[in-house]
Amino acid sequence: MTDERLKELLRGAISPPDAEERRRDLWPQMAARLEERPRWSYIDLGLAAAAAVALAVFPEWLWLLAYHL
Amino acid sequence: MQDEPDRELLRRFTHGDRDAFEALFRQFEREVYRWILRIVRESAAAEDALIEAFWRAYRGRARFDSSRSFGAWMRRIATNVAIDQLKAHRRHKWSPLDDEAQIPAGSMTRRGGRAGQGPDSFELADQIHRAFVSLPPKLQVVATLALIEELPLAEIADALDIPPGTVKSRLFRATRDLRTQLTRVGLHT
């Protein structure tokens, strides 16, 4: 199968984009996204919990943490 | 590509000025939307990706070098968002494509009926579509831009922020994988 034949097959099988233009003003949605409070991810929560537990078990690590902050 | 915004607007954007960001959004949204649409090929998915791309740009504004092209920077971000969207949709396993409505939003929609001649052309288009969407997203995006959209490799390389040689090798792997899959389903033409 040549490259040209492959291109032809792909163009025949894959739809062209369904709308070249946006159907509405997207700025309100963008502005709402900017207003959203930053959400904590599971990784953030996990790290915070691990740090809290580590400090509870080894309080002397507080100095180490303070040094790195 | 769109005219570059003035330096002062870009400086205000990098300092977090919302009005500057809105001005940039309004200036570039059309171009960015069209770019994403070329990759994801579905308007609702492209709109979501557009918001995500500008959101990432706003969050990463401090990293923007205002001596460089804002349009090119935005296009790279948009390309990454589009690839992430292809990856996310790849994780959705959908049942056989007997029903067009079962194709998840944002996936490449099949056209059907034009891929070949003869009574089974719809089935052929379906097989080609399946082979195409089964490509890893990084290969799929290169194949879309190079084979379907016929963009120059240098432009694809810039959008993906990779060397042209890497685009070539991804394109080679994409076409090889497509040929292998299509041969497997009995398409040797």
**What DSSP string runs through B111-124?**
--SSSSSSTTHHHH
Residue at token pair 């509405």:
A24
Mutate to test the interface with A, among B28, B51, B74 (most CBs of A within 10 A): B51
Interface contact B18-A34, CB threshold 8 A: yes
Can you tell me the distance from the alpha carbon of A15 to that of A38, in angstroms, rounded to the nearest whole number? Answer: 37
Average the pLDDT over A12-21 and give the result.
79
Question: Who wins on pLDDT, B132 or B5?
Answer: B132
What HEC string does B54-111 produce? HHHHHHCHHHCCCCCCHHHHHHHHHHHHHHHHHHHHHHCCCCCCCCHHHCCCCCCCEC
Q: Which residues contact B130 (CB under 8 A, 6 or more apart)?
A: B97
Least CB–CB distance from B129: residue in A7, A14, A20 = A14
Average the pLDDT over A11-39 and give the result.
84
Choose the weakest-confidence range: B30-34, B100-104, B133-137.
Answer: B100-104
Average the pLDDT over B5-15 and give the result.
91
Beta bridge partners of B110: A14
Interface contact A22-B148, CB threshold 8 A: no
Question: Who wins on pLDDT, B189 or B171?
Answer: B171
Predicted TM-score of the model (pTM): 0.77
ipTM surpassing 0.85, yes or no?
no
Residues B106-131 pLDDT 10s: 445 555 544 444 446 778 888 888 89
Residues B61-111 pLDDT 10s: 999 988 889 999 999 999 999 999 999 887 765 433 334 434 444 445 555
Interface contact B148-A11, CB threshold 8 A: yes
Can you tell me the distance from the alpha carbon of A53 to that of A57, in angstroms, rounded to the nearest whole number? Answer: 6
How many other CB atoms are there within 10 angstroms of residue B113's CB atom? 14
